[in-house]
């Protein structure tokens, strides 16, 4: 897969592959991550998710802004795998990720998962463990991540404020991380948008503004 995507037109081929996989069986689903952190939730078997995201620091149109393409697929009952392009305006290098759900939530027992992000030729893999618990209509998410010998904590929550609208908030303890507040809404089954703001953990850090469009469908 990686060697196939190293050619000069690898991004175009990736888009063609995704288009070939599209079917008319669309499925509404809440994202398996929050604004910036992963959760212990996974896509259902056969579900796929395509996200187009713009990140600004804080301007979405400045030279520092990043344009991301993120693709995820649910495999079996417990696996979610994906391929990401983190900054398509400057590089088309792919990064792989995978998540294994150890346990699904059963009553008061939370969902548990482990995963890895940022796997690529020039990437530094980030390993994480996450726990998710439904609380009433909302949910809370806890986790820990280790990257380049450094460990960080993850914390997040979401709460529905309408039939198709959720408030999202999350935080990472890393020095260059953020505490974020966002809104996720579905305007049609399988189509959603997130808008979020992130305040940096350190006073000299960059503020974050992100807009994320997603499509979820079933194979």
pLDDT value at position 16?
47
List of the chain residues with pLDDT < 70: 1-31
Structure-token match 């520092």, residue found: 64
The class level of CATH for 4-218 reads mainly beta
- Supply 43's token pair: 């896509």
**Angle of CA points 89, 92, 96, to nearest 5°:** 125
Query: DSSP assignment of 23-47, as one string?
Result: -S-B-----SB-SSSB-S--PPTTE
CA dihedral (138, 127, 87, 60) in degrees, to 10, reads 40
d(CA 1, CA 6): 9
pLDDT value at position 19?
41
Residue 193 contacts by C-beta under 8 Å, 6 or more apart in sequence? Answer: 184, 185, 187, 211, 212, 213, 214
Its pTM surpasses 0.75:
yes
């Amino acid at each position: 897969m990686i060697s196939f995507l190293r050619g000069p037109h690898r991004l175009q081929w990736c888009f063609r592959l995704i288009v070939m996989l599209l079917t008319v069986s669309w499925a509404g689903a809440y994202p398996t991550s929050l604004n910036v952190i992963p959760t212990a939730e996974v896509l259902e078997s056969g579900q796929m998710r395509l996200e187009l995201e713009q990140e600004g620091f804080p301007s979405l149109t400045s030279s520092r802004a990043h344009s991301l393409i993120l693709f995820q697929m649910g495999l079996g009952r417990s696996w979610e795998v994906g391929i990401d392009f983190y900054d398509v305006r400057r590089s088309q290098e792919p990064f792989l990720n995978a998540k294994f759900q150890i346990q699904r939530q059963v009553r008061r027992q939370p969902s548990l998962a482990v995963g890895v992000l940022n796997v690529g030729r020039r990437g530094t893999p980030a390993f994480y463990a996450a726990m998710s618990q439904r609380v009433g209509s909302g949910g809370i998410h806890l986790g820990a991540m280790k990257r380049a010998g450094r460990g960080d904590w993850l914390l997040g929550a979401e709460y529905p404020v309408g039939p198709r609208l959720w408030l999202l908030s999350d935080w990472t303890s890393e020095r260059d991380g953020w505490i974020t507040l966002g809104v996720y809404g579905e305007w049609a089954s399988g189509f959603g948008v997130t808008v979020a703001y992130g305040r940096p953990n350190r006073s000299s850090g960059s503020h974050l503004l992100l807009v994320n469009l997603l499509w979820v469908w079933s194979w």
